[in-house]
Structure 1
Amino acid sequence: MKIALIAHDKKKPDMIQFATAYKTILEKHEIFATGTTGLRIAEATGLSIYRFKSGPLGGDQEIGAMIAQNKMDLVIFFRDPLTAQPHEPDVTALLRLCDVYSIPLATNMGTAEILIHGLARGELSWREIVHGKEAESHD
């Protein structure tokens, strides 16, 4: 599975804690992240992470493009709802794309833990079926 990890500045410590706690699950998957978040997770956990640009510089849009191409399976985005974000339209677009393409999305620690446990139990394997159908439609 391809998993995106994104965190606003004030939520980065929470994301590092989450990634550290669930490293054994995350290391079995392809991990993508926006710039600084990805760097900090990699430094703290040793996980291999493909890093996009930082969110305000287009990283959210890069992940959104993967979602629109059905190339992302799960998004964990620890948002800071109490601080204005200069790239809020990009954040809103990313959340909307998750809804449009039925990509599981967590925006807080509680939901992220439920999704990561579901991932570990194989409850997101339906995403593999989606990928298979897409491959068939291109044949």
Structure 2
Amino acid sequence: MPAFAWRNSVMFQHCDPAGIVFYPRYFEMINAAIETFFADAVGWSFARMHGRDRVGVPAARIDTEFHAASRLGDDLDWSLRVTRIGGASLDLVLHATGDDGSARLTARATLVLVSLDPLKSKPWPEPTRRALERYLEDAPQ
């Protein structure tokens, strides 16, 4: 089961006056990791989804555990794995670690594929499902 890897740096815009990541900014990072995953690993960018294809993948649920603070200038390594693929939904687990290997955050998310006109769930297209299956836990190596 390969994990999708992404790295970002904690910037001033992410921090509160104490110089640590203000927790809502982690949700922006989670979204950036998911958006990058869809573009780079699945081959379906959010720009194409929302523009040409008129679909989206809003979060139905995000459970988050904050393990340790991240500070301005820290680099965070993210891993993303698919834990379940439903008819129109998808469960993911994301882990963020610091350069020292310390756990910073774990998030479990459920996304739902929806058409934008009208806003209604729809099944994953087969090519997308196959791409997602490559990152599914317990997938054949």
Q: TM-score, normalised by structure 1?
A: 0.24
Q: Which has the higher strand share?
A: 2
**More relative contact order in 1 or in 2 (CA 8 Å, sep 6+)?**
2
Q: TM-score, normalised by structure 2?
A: 0.24
